[in-house]
Structure 1
């Protein structure tokens, strides 16, 4: 069997273990599985989404809050509509800005760098309100231990300021452990990831670690751990149980000292060539913890629709492999979301006939309680990647089937449990010659063989698994042929 290669378009075309063509599949150990299609579910938002947060309430229940230009809205999973929970008068979010959210206990705190910092109690959500008259206006909000942290302040883009100890509404510096810190170097603050005892502050040109020092008068200490290396996209920072991932100016990394380049010699160069430099700032990261996957959605050069994403790079940190998603739907956001959980009775209350449901009855989208990957389409409707599988396209690398000789191939069998599969093969007479692709053909229901007569020194095989059919795994191809000589 020739296994399907890992997705690494940056590598040499002579590397048989790498391919530049691998779409809409989920990496698994030793192979690939299907990736579900996007299906819209909710009623549309009144405005373009500009940030969201999935807040945890209790007993496996979550609340999804979305920020737009003038509103903060809460998703009502029982009616699939949106409830306006904005403060009176609304907001004035800039078109180029996004809302930043952080949860502090049962409070959800939000900032858009223009309006006063907002908060709402998720246990009894009615309406957002100003957090404090003393809290600075800032681009980013997070938490560190018992403190609320604001960073990239309007008055200084290299400054952080934190609340009083366990007092998120107290912001008078040098009182009750509240204070601020302006950093002299590293560039503007681009991202923040907080924890119980420490935090990471991502600048444009450096990274700092912050640590609690409550036993001292300093309260917190900060140390620059990486220089000449920072973060290029605020929403690219994704904190997971296996580490913190982010986009730097030369590719994708997992934080460490030194940082671990997860995209080096795999996807970094291809990504940089496929995205406009002015769009790098808007790259949007998210995580699916159940699948152990980090996603980065981006707008490719071919996409002419502003404020949208047409491609998604997928990194499975459990098996250290990449894939590329082309979801056949341009999106305006990529987020974590969940539903409240539905039964057959509650599904009928939605007014959607069972035979017209966007997802199968056993889909994770209906079960609730577990966050899964979701998105907004260009109609600003929330939906989940829980539909039938997308069309998958996989290629092997260029392989020499007979060492030192040509091979004539008569066909190949894909190792896949899908019923509707087609494929094609290509051959090259020498390493530097172009590939000669043959016409695609369907797999034989009788023999399981895809006919593909090709002759050459190097061969490549492509399999297409048609959309909207059930399947679970594909691993490689088993070619049939024989040596043909050296000329």
Structure 2
């Protein structure tokens, strides 16, 4: 038998006699293999209207809260019955929309919420029952970030090339020159798109990237130097950070930038050409990035059709430097911290174990364990905590460089499941379209897939049904032999 290792997902690369695959879906990269992607399981009741921003926070005492904003209200998830409690201040109606979404951040015990159309809001964890306007007369902003001991507002509708930070350790000090409160206008690079959340942040503009340095005891407070000119983040929502590492989408590609400003083109000759050929200028700005709260992965949700919801999710594992693709139908993605529960506490959630939204061993019941959540099209918050999604893994296309024919009589996928169906693709000439035979089932006794195929080029496609429990697929064993030239 010939062992064919699992092919890396790189749809930008030439496939004929290549070493890569253009069909890897609903699986996650692993070292030398792919692993299942859990399916979506709803957790909450329906939000009253479309979510326009959401945020999860774990407070110092271990409590967890999940917030969501709609066009006119702010809500918090009830951790017992998973309903949404309206925590909007009395006599206030917000005016958020698709172009002015909510942005959240946590600063000590303050949860901050901003959108471009309303004054910034604050919720005091452990004390308040509702949001209230943030004190100090801060400017309206589309984005809030935490720079060490400062709250920083950006995407200011009245000054889009400005970042404005609060007083030192004071989220409600917004008087310039008081307690280190100040702002910075960037002369070139376009509008401010976002930043990392560190004491010395990296700031992304439309066509420029700057490094900020906190200078304690100085009147300057923060100094800024340009790291890159004519390079920036075309999509503000695509920026996602963990520590000093940041990931973002610019014209034509996906990138990673480190603390020193070094840029790595992580999608070059891997996925960039395939993805961006499907996007127009409007949809590129809607790419939405989220860091996995537990693993070294970033997820970029894509709205290819411009319909206001996400169709697919690109996954990049920066430790392995490998990609995969997930099919979704969602309005938002976010890391969440569900409340921890004892067995007695679970009784309040559901009277019977079978009615629990997640299995007992799910991270969703562990308050200290973050998980990746999404809002579904019906406005329900949930998580990727269900049984495995239907998985599709295709091999690279196999053929002899000399044009010799190949004969295949059996195939044995290296996967711990016999439930998968195998499709065999063949073609005799490189100019032909791949022809796919009907799906085959594995032998009950051996787990092999028996076939009789003779062609110059072969490709295998394995489909694992939704809900089937498996753990790894790392390749195919094939009974192959040369079969002449005609």
TM-score range, shorter chain: over 0.9
Q: List, as ranges, runs of 4+ consecutive aligned residues in structure 1 with deviation greater than 4 Å.
A: 401-404
In structure 1, the residue matched to 2:181 is 178
* TM-score, structure 2 normalization: 0.95
Q: Deviations over 1:157-186 (max 9, x none)?
A: 001111112222111112221111111110
Tell me, in whole angstroms, the C-alpha distance in 1 between the residues paired with 2:168 and 2:364.
39
In structure 1, the residue matched to 2:319 is 318
Structure 1, unpaired ranges of 5+: none
The two structures, once aligned, show a CA RMSD in angstroms of 1.8
Mapped contact 2:167–2:173 kept (Cα < 8 A): yes
Say which of 237, 240, 246 aligns to 1:238: 240
Q: Confirm or deny that 1:124 pairs with 2:123.
A: no
Mapped contact 1:424–1:452 kept (Cα < 8 A): no
How far off its partner does 1:30 sit?
A: 0.2
Tell me, in whole angstroms, the C-alpha distance in 2 between the residues paired with 1:236 and 1:105.
26
In structure 1, the residue matched to 2:273 is 269
In structure 2, the residue matched to 1:251 is 253
In structure 1, the residue matched to 2:362 is 363
Structure 2, unpaired ranges of 5+: none
Farther-moved stretch of structure 1 (8-17 vs 331-340): 8-17
Mapped contact 2:4–2:476 kept (Cα < 8 A): yes
Superposed counterparts of 1:215-364, under 5 Å: 215-241=217-243, 243-256=245-258, 257-301=261-305, 306-327=307-328, 330-351=329-350, 353-364=352-363
Superposed counterparts of 1:58-137, under 5 Å: 58-88=60-90, 89-137=92-140
Tell me, in whole angstroms, the C-alpha distance in 2 between the residues paired with 1:106 and 1:403.
68
Farther-moved stretch of structure 1 (449-458 vs 373-382): 449-458
Q: Deviations over 1:420-448 (max 9, x none)?
A: 11102122324333322222111111121
How far off its partner does 1:79 sit?
A: 1.4
* TM-score, structure 1 normalization: 0.94
Superposed counterparts of 1:423-442, under 5 Å: 423-442=422-441
Tell me, in whole angstroms, the C-alpha distance in 1 between the residues paired with 2:353 and 2:402.
56
Farther-moved stretch of structure 1 (277-286 vs 381-390): 277-286
How far off its partner does 1:215 sit?
A: 3.1
In structure 2, the residue matched to 1:481 is 480
Mapped contact 1:99–1:112 kept (Cα < 8 A): yes
Change (3 A) 1:336 1:244: same
Tell me, in whole angstroms, the C-alpha distance in 2 between the residues paired with 1:292 and 1:15.
31
Change (3 A) 1:6 1:27: same
Tell me, in whole angstroms, the C-alpha distance in 2 between the residues paired with 1:66 and 1:278.
25
